Amino acid sequence: MIAIIDYDIGNLAAVYNMFQRVGYPSTITADPDVIAAADRIVLPGNGHFDTCMRNIRATGLIPLLEEKVLRQQTPLLGICVGAQMLGHSSEEGAEAGLGWLDLTVKRFPSLPGLRIPHMGWSEVGKPLPDHPLVEALGDDARFYFVHSYYLSPAASVDTLLSANYGIPFAAGVVKGNIAGVQFHPEKSHRFGKMLLSNFAKGES
């Protein structure tokens, strides 16, 4: 069972519905018993970084999630702000992140002709083409983005997918069982289905 963590942010139903479409059981939950029994965990996120961090802390679930993800090595996928929360901090706010990955979150620079937020479809590159999460993603893979801030990983964190919006940035990162994507796979049609199916069925 895939546990989609419910911490009072939006867009959970869209993630759940996409897993339904690809044929893998999932549940939206804040129940510690359900999370403890989960085979995989998804941490969605949208809106302001600080709000998301305050909400996840208010659930009291962080110790359980750390037990599952850091000690039991349960595969976890962070989506959008959920991916940003995996790092240490964000230029969007003052709250500390979860610190599970060695990365920070930075704001896109103000460049001529560059509209912020980055919103819409963008092609991605595959720096790790053999990773199970990007299996079957062709060279034409593209995903739907809505963000003003981007992932900036340290050398100890692999860039799984790359994109460009005025500057090159990490569209997806991975280290061991923990992965995060800046885009919205639940809004990315067939490419999103492929990625979520890969997460549900394979090693990550």
The CA distance from 130 to 83, in Å, is 21
Quote the crossing angle between the two packed helices 12-22 and 189-201, to the nearest 10°.
Answer: 80
Most confident of 9-23, 172-186, 190-204: 172-186
Query: Is 77 a residue whose pLDDT tops 80?
Result: yes
Average pLDDT, the chain: 96
What does the pLDDT average to over 81-109?
98
116: CATH: 3.40.50.880
Give the pLDDT mean for 4-18. 93
**Which one, of 169, 171, 199, lies nearest residue 184 by Cα?**
171
CA distance 114 to 199: 32
The domain of 16 spans 2-201
Neighbouring C-beta atoms of residue 106, cutoff 10 Å: 16
Active-site residue list? 80, 184, 186
- The tens digit of pLDDT for each residue in 21-70 reads 999 999 999 999 999 999 999 999 999 999 999 999 999 999 999 999 99
The model's pTM is 0.96
Q: Judge whether residue 16 has pLDDT over 70.
A: yes
Q: Report residue 204's pLDDT band, with 50, 70 and 90 as the boundaries.
A: very low
At 138, the pLDDT band (50, 70, 90 cuts) reads: confident
Mean pLDDT calculated for residue range 65-79? 98
Contacts of 5 (CB under 8 A, 6+ apart): 29, 30, 35, 41, 42, 43, 44, 56, 61, 65
Q: Is residue 202 predicted with pLDDT exceeding 80?
A: no
The pair phi, psi for residue 104, each rounded to 5°, is: -125, 170
From the list 47, 45, 15, the residue with the least C-alpha distance to 28 is 15
Note the pLDDT of residue 113.
87
The predicted pLDDT at position 80 comes to 97
What is the domain count for the chain? 1
Query: What is the rounded distance in angstroms from the CA atom of residue 23 to the CA atom of residue 53?
Result: 30
